[in-house]
Amino acid sequence: MRHLVTGGSGFLGHLIARRLLERGEEVRVLDVWRDPEMSSEIEFVECDIRSRDGVARAMSGIDIVHHNVALVPLTKSGAGFWAVNVDGSRIAAECAVEAGVDAFIHMSSSALYGVPEQIPITEQTPTLPCEIYGRAKLAGENEVRRICDAAGATLVSIRPRTILGEGRLGIFQILFEWIQANRNVYVIGSGDVDFQFLHAHDLMDFYLLALDAEKPGIYNVGTNRYGTLRGALEELIEYAATTSLVKSLPERSTILALRVLDALRLSPLAPWHYLTYHKAFAFDVEPLLEMGWQPRYSNAEMLRESYDWYRAHSNDGASGDGSSPHRKAVPQRLLGLLKRLS
């Protein structure tokens, strides 16, 4: 079969493209930049997802579309979130339907749920995004669903938890750097809340399972072995054998301060980070386990692997390479001062 991976140079997109290629599939990638690690066996199309003509040409002869193009919270893109995550998703879905593809797989986000009142999150949990990125991702998912439903096209929507794994930097680069430097790390509030992560390879395992099952629907994906956020950080510090400590910050005043720093562009943290990362968040993955999926990584195991990768590459330039926000280092701005004082 022939597959088109939009955003195929990003953290998840390049994993999807690589997995498909390993299965012997024909793969085409659409992105605004080419991943230097991309196999020569993958056809690359340089195109912005907002270019309808370019996207339509890329859809020619494709059987399955894997839509991953999105601006992530770290980009703080404002109106750009709507242009790319909503309008771009609509263009991708419309072009896919016009090209007669067999299925459309949409990479959505856990940000659609905002701050859920109860966990674990199930299929019945309402979507109530609490910031601009989540609202745009929800609108984009709704647009894709409207278009596919009207055309009778098969749609699979994946809502993953926060993803870890080799090569995942972004906001985690700050955490790993501070721990390696024996600096204290901070949580808003106590940190004693259930908090679920997801390893990229576990996501890929389920992704391909859903692809092979040809079962349309919405799938919430996260590890089934997790504990509290504070516990995960303390386990990582113990593994790293540094003198870092997990320190609590008062909730209301810290969020207010981060809002101000965000508005002044003095902090890398976006609203999705400081409004939700101190709240309990976990998916009920029992329906996925019943499909035969079995995640291989716990929170602790994926944090250790990601930290080890960071340490191995922090001095060779890899931590700063790439055009994907999740694959490169993040400027810490005023947080760098807090690091020196920790």
Q: For tokens 């692809």, what's the residue?
A: 211
Q: What is the pLDDT of residue 166?
A: 85
Q: Choose among 171, 178, 183, 168: nearest CA to 302.
A: 168
**Does residue 128 register a pLDDT over 60?**
yes
- Return d(Cα 163, Cα 167) in angstroms, integer: 11
Mean pLDDT score, 172-185: 94
Per CATH, is 166-196+225-280+297-341 categorized as 3.90.25?
A: yes
Q: Mean per-residue pLDDT for 321-340?
A: 57
Candidates 15, 27, 258, 305; CA nearest to 160 is 15
Q: Kindly list the domain boundaries of the chain, sorted by start residue.
A: 2-163+197-221, 166-196+225-280+297-341
Mean per-residue pLDDT of the chain: 92
Residue 309 makes CB contacts below 8 A (sequence gap 6+) with: 166, 167, 168
| C-alpha separations of 283 from 15, 134, 198, 219, 308 in Å | 23, 17, 10, 10, 27
Output the pLDDT for position 177: 93
197's tokens: 């992560």
Domain 2-163+197-221's class? alpha beta
Question: Stretch 182-190: mean pLDDT, rounded?
Answer: 96
| pLDDT tens figures, 97-120 | 999 999 999 999 999 999 999 999
What pLDDT score was predicted for residue 171?
A: 86
Which has more confidence, 120 or 337? 120
- Alpha carbons 155 and 103: distance in angstroms, whole number: 6
pLDDT for 335: 65
pLDDT, one tens digit per residue, over 201-210 is 999 999 999 9
- The predicted pLDDT at position 326 comes to 47
Check whether 323 has a pLDDT greater than 80.
no
Among the ranges given (25-29, 68-72, 282-286, 323-327), the one the predictor scored with the smallest mean pLDDT: 323-327
The fraction of the chain above a pLDDT of 70, given in percent, is 92
Q: Is the pLDDT of residue 2 over 80?
A: yes
The predicted structure's pLDDT at residue 313: 86
Q: Which of 62-66, 260-264, 283-287, 311-315 has the lowest mean pLDDT?
A: 311-315
Looking at residue 261, what is its pLDDT? 93
pLDDT band at 330; cut points 50, 70, 90? low
**The model's pTM:** 0.92
pLDDT at 322 over 60: no
Q: What is the pLDDT of residue 320?
A: 45
pLDDT tier, 48 (very low <50, low <70, confident <90, very high otherwise) = very high
pLDDT in tens, 191-238: 999 999 999 999 999 999 998 998 899 999 999 999 999 999 999 999
| pLDDT of residue 329 exceeding 60 | no
Task: Check residues 167 and 251 and name the one with the higher pLDDT.
Answer: 251
Distance CA 143, CA 86 (A): 7
